[in-house]
Structures are given as C-alpha cells and as structure tokens.
Amino acid sequence: MNVIPQHDGSLLVKNPQNYCLYDMGNPHLFVRFDGEGNLVHAFFAEGFYGGAWSFRLIVDGRPFQFREGHGIGRLWKLWGEEEGLEVRLDSFIGDSSPFVFQNLVLSSRSHQKLVKIRIVIRFSLPVLWHQRAQSALVRWIPAILRQPHWWSEGWAKLLLPPAPRHVTLHPGGAVQAKGIRPLQWVTDVPPHAMSVRGKEANIEWQFRLSPGETRRLRWALAAGLGEDPITRVEKAYDEAIRYAAWLSQGYPGGDPLLKSLFVAGLNTAMAMFKIFPEGFAGLVAGPDYAYPPRLYFRDGYWTAQILLAFRPDLVRQHLLSIARGVHESGECPSGVFAPYLLKFKEAMFGGLPDWLPKHLDAPAFFVLLVRDYLRATEDWEVLKEPISSLHDGVERSLWTIIWSAVRYLIAQDSDEDGLIEKPNAPNDWADNVRRGIWVTYDQALYIAALRAASEIAQARGEVVIASALKTKAAAAHRALKSVLWNSSSGYYVNYRRPGYLEDHFSIDTLIVLLYGLAEEEDARRVLDAARRLQTRYNPDQPYGDWGTMCVYPLYRNQKDIFGKSAHPYCYHNGADWPYWDGIYGWLLLQREDPDWEYVLTRWWTYSLDKGWLTPVEYYSPPYPRGGLLQGWSSMPATALIWAKHLTPRISFSHF
C-alpha cells in the first residue's frame, strides 16, 4: 500500500487494504470506512452506535480487489478494474444529515460477468454485555469516572445504549433495527436474498453484467424511521463534493504534502462540531472521546484555533455551551456532558455535568478561547449572552462566568507568591502523570489567562480590573522565571515540588513561548534544547527517525506516572502528539528555523505510511496508536494558516 498526497489536498491510496482507515464526520455522526469498502463503525452524536457492515464483491467466482482509494473531507472513493470490469464504490456523508451512503457502479467493457454482492450489517457493538454485567458496571461508574486512563483506552463506549431489541426485514431491501434509537438501512435495488440472524442482517445481489452494460446500486443507513434516506443521496453527494472543494481552497500553498496536512486538519476540526438535543452544541475531542457525549475545555481550545479563521460561528456555539459547565466558583472539569444525557443516565452519572472534575488548565483555556474569539470576530455582544448553569440553573452573563474562572485561578495561589499550586494529581492535559506542585505548563497558562482577562476588561472600560489583573500577571511571570527556569540547561523544567525536580525537557513548556512569556534570547535557548525531542537528532532513543517526542529524557519518578504513561515512549512519557508538533512547528516558523518542516510533517508522513488517513491523537513505534480524526491534532494545519500572516520577508518555497 502506498499513500500519495495530491495537489488538491486529497489522498490517493494505491492498493488499499483493510487496515487503511478513513474517518469522517458531520454535526450528527462519526463514521469510518476501510480500504475494502467496509463500514467499520457509525456513531451518532447523541451517543448511539449505528452499526457496521462488511462489503464483499465476487466476480466470476473470485473476490474483487480495489486498486485505488481516494479520500478528502466527507468522501472516500474506491476504484478498481479487472479483466474488463470497472468498479467504483463511493462512501460519503452530507453536510448535516444523520445518513451514511454508499454508491456502487459496475461497468463491463468486454465479457459477460457473473456478479455477486454481499453485505452483512451488524447492529451490535463488538463487545456484548449481559444485563447483570451492565448493572455491575453502572454501580462502579463513580469510581471509573476518576480513572481517565481507562477512558483513553476506549472503555467509554461501554456506556453506549444497548443494541436494538430486534432487527426486521421489509419489502424492497429495507432493514429496520428498533430500540432506544431506531435505525434503518435501505437500498434502491431490491436484493436477490435477505435474511436476519439475531442483530445481523445479510443482504445479497446476484446478476449477470453484459458487455457494455453499467449497473448502479445505492444503499444508506439512517437514524430514525421517517424519511427514506435514498431520496437524499444525490444531495448528500453534491454536498460532499462542494465541501471537498471548500477544504482545498482554504490553503494557498502548492506543496501536496502540506496541502494534504492542511485539508486533513481543517476537515478534522469541522468534524468535531456536534449538535445535541436541547440546543447544546460544540466541539468534541474525537470519535474515541465522544461517548458519552461531552465537550472539552482543553481539546476544544486547540481545535477551535483553525475554526476561528474559517467558521468562528461554530466556536461561538461551543463557547456558549461549554460555559454552562463552569461552576459558580469558576472551577472547571476537563469536559462537560451534553445535558440531555444527565436525564437519560441520571443513575449512572448522578446528574452531574462534570467529566473529570477540577482540571487546572480548563479555566485558563476557557478564558483564552473567549479572548481569541473576540480578537477574531470583535463580537463583543457575546459577553452579554445569558447562560444557564448546568449546576444550579442560574443565568449569568458570559463575562460573569469568565470573571469566576479568573478568580478561581487566582485562588490557586494560596500563599500569594505568584505561583499557583497544582495538586500532585493527574488533572491537566497529562492525565496519566501526577505533576505538582509548581508546573511550568499550568503556570504559563495562568499568566496567559490573566493577561487575556485584563485585555477583555480593558476593552469593556473596566480599567481598575484590567490594571489589577495585569499586576497579578506580572508577579506570576516573575515567579515563573525565578522558580521554573533552569538557566544552566536553557529551558523551563517540567515541574517541581519540595524535595523533587522533574528537570527533563517537556514539549508542553513551549506554552511559555507561544504566549510570549520569554525573552527572545531565552526562547532561542529553549528551542535549541527542544531539538533533542526530534528523533532524527536523538540517537539515544531506540526507534530511529519517527517523529517528535513529547518529553526527553523520560520521566524519572515511577510513582508519578501510571496507566499508559508508565511505559517508556508511550503516551505522555515520550510519544509524538501532533497537536504539540503544531505549536512547536509554529514557533520554528516564526523564527525561520528550517526544522519547522520536520516537526510539522513527520507525524503526518509516518501516519500515511501506516494507513492512518486522518490526524492521529498520539503514537510511538512500539505501542498501539491513539484515536484517529482527533480534534486537537488539527494544530499543525493551524500553524500553516498562522504562517500566512507572517511578515513578507519570510518566504518558503512551499508557500
């Protein structure tokens, strides 16, 4: 298999295999297809599993193999030709409907062909739970929710509603699955045979294709039993084509690799926007982190960066929804459950909207995203929006909620020395690491949030508040340099507490540079030290040239790491995280450092070599990869967009 980026930003796959995965999404669903035309899974935004199906094409008694795949946006095309028979299978979704489509076209140029098509639809999750096991799981939910590393391994999908109660066949080739969320699968060509066994439906066609004849078959999966989705197939295909063109036009460069990276990044960010019942909408983290349905402060912040340039209206909706999850005290969880879910699973979640409470970086990201949105849109009216809290039901303005988040952050500096004290707990992005008490990443975000809130207050004419916040930020900035800067090594340490210092280089300390908190001389020393994260420059790590590590050397104190991060070069303990590559690459782009290209693209070339056709969450050679179509992994594409606004003296051959 070989993946070749194209000039329009699409990906051409030669000899696609079943491990070649293409994910796509719209506001109502996530779906994944593979290189053989199978629907690997479909998940609806509300938290329902939509099923999967296998596709098999037999021509004159032999399995047909596709020669090429072609993916962009919400469209995945497979094509092949054997002995005069040309076959095209298009898989796609529309802009906003909860429908999944496939179109099959077969054309015989010479001999008569005997064609057999078989589709097996499965409406049950791969892992089945007996009622007794589900009841036991519910009793353990409060404890499980405190173990984020379990969820990052896919356990959250066990909380999806059960499979449909029964599957029935209907005339003309329709299949209905009835349960909490009814589903239907339909086709426009009646099949030769249909059968059902449990939660599995078998659909078969058989016919002879004469020389010069072309046959077309279409089928679709839909949530709900109302509208026939086949009536929407042409519209959905046209929408997928227009969306692909829109993605391609967003980046002016001509280099196919960078163009494909950009298109994949923007498409991923767009796919994160989900619409839930009761007017709740916003940015999820990715298909592997969307169930139970929830929005994230941290992931949403990074995903929103590219959307601010193209769809700031989606960022506005995200802000107004996630603000509902901020506590009156300003405390924020990692994420906020969609409110309808609290009623649906009240016994399971206790009616609480918090997904992993008291994440220290979440209030800062909330404040920063409001500031970034205001800079991008000048929509100052958003600060007056009344927002109903999911905690106490009280309506507060967005500005009031921002001010609560700022006060909460300030309160974390209990001794007023300028340093916020983080509990020795996994409550920031590194949620498999117990970092404390003084953490460079969290301290830098604190300073940036104070500055952002001061900027907003100044624009509102609240000069006293603005001045006070600026003074707080200056004190916090001085404390950052005095306590967490390692002058001999030339970088900011990861974290320290009385009696222990984790002084390796951590990529998340680059937040200091991103928010302009370092003098340029110090910034260049930091970037010089960061070069050891690039595996091509680091012969001491054992896997060759594979990307950019998130830390090096690895964590020293085994008591501070757990879950996947307890393993060398895994997860927070040395894996490549493309969203950090985007931040690191941007800092290099700003300084015309030629290393920018490696940092921004090596993760992408590694992914394409593996058949991962959408941005991956994290990876390292000896371990399974993270999720695909991961929202914040759009950051390398964001860096390319930010680069458009660099001064004219910066010129790269790719642009």
Residue 148, pLDDT > 80, answer no
Distance CA 34, CA 157 (A): 20
| Least confident interval from 108-112, 125-129, 244-248, 610-614 | 125-129
Strand order in the sheet with 85-92: 2-5, 11-14, 68-72, 75-82, 85-92, 99-108, 214-223, 183-187, 174-178, 166-170
In the structure encoding, which two tokens stand for residue 202, read together? 């078998």
Residue 610's nearest CA partner among 6, 17, 7, 10 is: 17
What would the pLDDT profile of 538-596 be if each residue is shown by its tens digit? 999 999 999 999 999 999 999 999 999 999 999 999 999 999 999 999 999 999 999 99
The pLDDT-based confidence of 139 (bands split at 50, 70, 90) is: very low
Handedness of CA 437, 440, 442, 446 (dihedral sign): positive
Q: Are 308 and 267 in contact (CB under 8 A)?
A: no
Which pairs with CB-CB distance under 8 Å and at least 24 residues apart come from 153-158?
153/564, 154/288, 156/289, 156/291, 156/292, 157/49, 157/125, 157/127, 157/291, 158/127, 158/129
Give the per-residue SS3 of 339-404.
HHHHHHCHHHHCCCCEECCCCCCHHHHHHHHHHHHHHHHCCHHHHHCEEECCCCCCEEEHHHHHHH
Q: What is the pLDDT of residue 290?
A: 81
475 residue type, one letter: A
Question: Residues with Cβ < 8 Å from 82, sequence gap 6 or more?
Answer: 59, 64, 65
User: What is the b/e burial string over 484-501, where b = at least 16 CB atoms within 10 angstroms of the residue's CB?
Assistant: bbeeeebbbbbbbbeeeb
Strand partners, 208: 114
Between CA 489 and CA 495, with CA 491 as vertex, the angle to 5 degrees is 105
Distance CA 182, CA 49 (A): 11
Distance CA 87, CA 107 (A): 7
Parallel, antiparallel, or unpaired for β 200-209 and 193-197?
A: antiparallel
What would the pLDDT profile of 164-186 be if each residue is shown by its tens digit? 778 999 999 999 998 778 999 99
Distance CA 325, CA 52 (A): 33
What's the pTM?
A: 0.94
Residue 481's nearest CA partner among 491, 470, 468 is: 491
Residue 649, pLDDT > 70, answer no
Residue 240, pLDDT > 70, answer yes
Question: Residues with Cβ < 8 Å from 562, sequence gap 6 or more?
Answer: 149, 426, 432, 433, 434
What domains lie within the chain, and their CATH numbers? 2-125+160-232 (2.70.98.40), 534-644 (no CATH)
Q: What is the pLDDT of residue 147?
A: 53
Distance CA 52, CA 169 (A): 17
Q: What is the pLDDT of residue 445?
A: 98
| Element containing residue 143 per DSSP (H, E) | helix 131-144
As a whole number, mean pLDDT of residues 2-15 equals 98
Question: Residues with Cβ < 8 Å from 465, sequence gap 6 or more?
Answer: 454, 457
383 residue type, one letter: L
| Element containing residue 641 per DSSP (H, E) | helix 635-643
What would the pLDDT profile of 490-501 be if each residue is shown by its tens digit? 999 999 999 999
Distance CA 504, CA 520 (A): 21
Parallel, antiparallel, or unpaired for β 294-296 and 335-337?
A: antiparallel
Question: Residues with Cβ < 8 Å from 649, sequence gap 6 or more?
Answer: none
CA distances from 512 to 442, 472, 527, 632 (A): 10, 17, 11, 19
What would the pLDDT profile of 150-168 be if each residue is shown by its tens digit? 544 445 555 566 667 789 9
Query: Would you give the end-to-end CA distance of the chain in angstroms?
Result: 29
Distance CA 47, CA 31 (A): 13
| Element containing residue 305 per DSSP (H, E) | helix 298-310
Residue 648, pLDDT > 70, answer no
Judging by beta carbons within 10 Å of its beta carbon (0-12, 13-18, 19+), is residue 150 exposed, middle or buried? middle
